[in-house]
Amino acid sequence: MSDGIVEVDFRDEPSAWLARGVLAANGIPSQVIAIPFDAGVPWGVRARPALRAQDLNAARKLLASGCGGPSA
């Protein structure tokens, strides 16, 4: 797998921060990238935890087991 950084979509910013906490507690470093929508859109912000590509499979399994799971 690539050594790059990948982003995992979540439906809202609190879910992304929760996922980051779960990942950190399990030794997977990540950062949350918040992407504001255009003005006038009621959803506010889309957020994505960004993590190392080599950690993606472990992160997906971990998050799917109890955090609502990523959509990507």
> What domains can you pick out in the chain, each with its CATH number?
5-64 (3.30.70)
Q: What is this structure's pTM?
A: 0.68
In percent, the amount of the chain with pLDDT more than 70 equals: 71
Tell me the β-bridge partners of 42.
Answer: none
Predicted confidence (pLDDT) per residue in 42-71, tens digit: 555 677 788 899 999 998 898 888 654 454
* pLDDT band at residue 1 under the 50/70/90 scheme: very low
Q: What is the rounded average pLDDT of the residues 23-52? A: 77
**Cβ neighbours of 63 (radius 10 Å):** 22
In this predicted structure, what is the pLDDT of residue 58? 92
